[in-house]
């Protein structure tokens, strides 16, 4: 082996662990004579933990595979978040999967393959790597959304996500082809050099718009959010938790990588796009969630709003803004996984908890759970001094330092409106009468 190949393999060890682990578990599940679901599930969590340990303990930085792959501190941080999101989802979905009869060995294998795609997205240093990672992640998610074949809603969710996801992939590819046509390169650094040395051309701006549109679909940003409420509601709840958490880490990291890397020389162009998407996402997330009665649809609109807040930091076009985005995504991951963990833990005599009214009177039947869920709701609303407040503080501060005062003010107003539907859940839990018992 050449030194370059050894160095590349060393930098991409977490990805290799996931790839080899997923293939090995697929063989175990396929050729085992007994039900191996529990074994495969446990081994999948162990593989994710091993990959996470390797990411945290390794200090190597640089590029690999001909500069198509990059490893730096930002990549390591976002990879840890993606791995945590995947591992926690697997752990908290075991009981639900048994109850809903989709505890198949393919489920953890698909989670591993999806996570592999996420890690490749986070370390992508060129348009080709970006697309390969994105498609690996997306194809696994399409199957995951429809994994409960006994449920018409789950099948419908998977089909909707597949059709709209294919459309977004086409837009992304068209944007990549335009950028390659005008710059002659697919690497982020080479694109940045070409943009910095030459005159800005209209075709490049169109390419930028199409690429950002394809990536905005993956984080459910307005106006590419249409799939989110229906898919979140129709997919099995653990898959909804996964969709709301881990893939968002990778997609947001990729947007940061593309804008702050490849398109840094034309920041004035993409900054306007990001500001518009951010404002639209915050506004829609705040107002559309008010009338929701289904918890998963409410969390879908909540997710749209939170991606808008995270984009406020990116719109600042500064290192402080990027740090704000990273901190916000960490806090968002914890809050989202915590909320879904409690939704999965609660089961009524009539079935799973899905309607907001199902939480009525929870404080009288399970005060500890109601208290922790209240803290999570306050944090999602951004009430100080909880973590959600500090996440918004960092991104709004970055926007103010970049003289984006209007964006910061709109963000604060959207937070005030958005707090209403979180407080409504708290009011139901503490002040309404129980409508049924929990098991």
Residue 437 has pLDDT above 80, yes or no: no
**Predicted confidence band of residue 341 (pLDDT cuts 50, 70, 90):** confident
Q: What is the pLDDT of residues 96-127, one digit of tens each?
A: 777 766 667 888 899 999 999 999 999 988 89
Which range scores top for mean pLDDT: 149-153, 266-270, 317-321?
317-321
Residue 412 has pLDDT above 70, yes or no: yes
Mean pLDDT of the residues in the chain: 87
- Say how far apart CA 58 and CA 76 lie, in whole Å: 9
Is the distance from CB of 175 to CB of 210 less than 8 angstroms? yes
Residue 438 has pLDDT above 70, yes or no: no
pLDDT at residue 261, as a whole number? 85
Residue 415 has pLDDT above 60, yes or no: yes
pLDDT at residue 268, as a whole number? 84
Phi, psi (5° rounding) for residue 33?
Answer: -85, -15
Give the residue, 154 or 131, on which the prediction is more confident: 131
pLDDT at residue 397, as a whole number? 93
pLDDT at residue 82, as a whole number? 93
Residues above pLDDT 70, as percent of the chain: 95
Q: Between helices 319-345 and 387-401, what is the axis angle to 10°?
A: 160
Q: What is the pLDDT of residues 178-196, one digit of tens each?
A: 999 888 888 888 888 888 8
- In the chain, domain spans: 3-431
Residue 250 has pLDDT above 80, yes or no: yes
pLDDT at residue 61, as a whole number? 81
Residues above pLDDT 90, as percent of the chain: 35
pTM value? 0.91
Residue 311 has pLDDT above 70, yes or no: yes
Residue 13 has pLDDT above 90, yes or no: no
**Predicted confidence band of residue 348 (pLDDT cuts 50, 70, 90):** low
Residue 199 has pLDDT above 80, yes or no: no
């Amino acid at each position: 082996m050449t030194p370059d190949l050894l160095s590349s393999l060393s930098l991409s060890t977490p990805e290799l662990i996931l790839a080899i682990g997923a293939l090995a578990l697929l063989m175990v599940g396929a050729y085992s004579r007994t039900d191996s679901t529990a074994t495969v599930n446990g081994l999948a969590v162990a593989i994710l933990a091993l990959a996470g340990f390797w990411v945290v303990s390794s200090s190597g930085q640089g590029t690999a595979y001909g500069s198509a792959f990059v490893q730096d501190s930002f990549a390591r941080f976002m990879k840890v978040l993606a791995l945590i999101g995947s591992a926690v989802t697997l752990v908290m979905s075991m009981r639900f999967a048994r109850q809903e009869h989709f505890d198949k060995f393919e489920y953890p294998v698909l989670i591993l393959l999806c996570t592999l795609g996420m890690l490749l997205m986070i370390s992508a240093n060129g348009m080709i790597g970006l697309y390969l990672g994105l498609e690996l992640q997306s194809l696994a998610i399409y199957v995951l959304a429809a994994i409960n074949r006994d449920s018409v809603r789950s099948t419908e969710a998977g089909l909707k996500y597949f059709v709209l996801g294919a459309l977004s992939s086409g837009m992304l590819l068209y944007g990549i082809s335009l950028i390659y046509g005008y710059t002659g390169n697919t690497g982020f650094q080479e694109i940045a050099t070409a943009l910095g040395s030459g005159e800005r051309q209209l075709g490049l701006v169109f390419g930028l718009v199409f690429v950002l549109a394809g990536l905005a679909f993956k984080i459910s940003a307005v106006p590419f959010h249409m799939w989110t409420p229906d898919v979140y509601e129709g997919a099995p709840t653990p898959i909804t938790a996964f969709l709301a958490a881990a893939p968002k880490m990778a997609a947001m990291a990729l947007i940061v990588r593309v804008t702050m890397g490849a398109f840094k020389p034309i920041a004035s162009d993409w900054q306007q796009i990001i500001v518009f998407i951010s404002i639209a996402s915050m506004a829609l997330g705040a107002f559309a969630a008010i009338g929701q009665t289904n918890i998963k649809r409410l969390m879908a609109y909540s997710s749209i709003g939170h991606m808008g807040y995270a984009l406020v930091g990116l719109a600042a076009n500064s290192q402080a803004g990027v740090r704000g985005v990273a901190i916000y995504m960490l806090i968002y991951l914890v809050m989202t996984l915590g909320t879904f963990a409690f939704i999965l833990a609660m089961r009524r005599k009539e079935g799973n908890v899905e309607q907001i009214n199902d939480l009525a009177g929870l404080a009288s039947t399970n005060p500890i759970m109601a208290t922790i869920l209240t803290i999570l709701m306050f944090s999602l609303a951004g009430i100080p001094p909880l973590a959600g407040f500090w996440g918004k503080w960092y991104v709004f501060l970055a926007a103010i330092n970049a003289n984006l005062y209007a964006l910061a003010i709109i963000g604060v107003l959207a937070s005030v409106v958005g707090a209403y539907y979180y407080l409504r859940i708290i009011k139901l839990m503490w002040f309404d009468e129980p409508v049924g018992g929990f098991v």
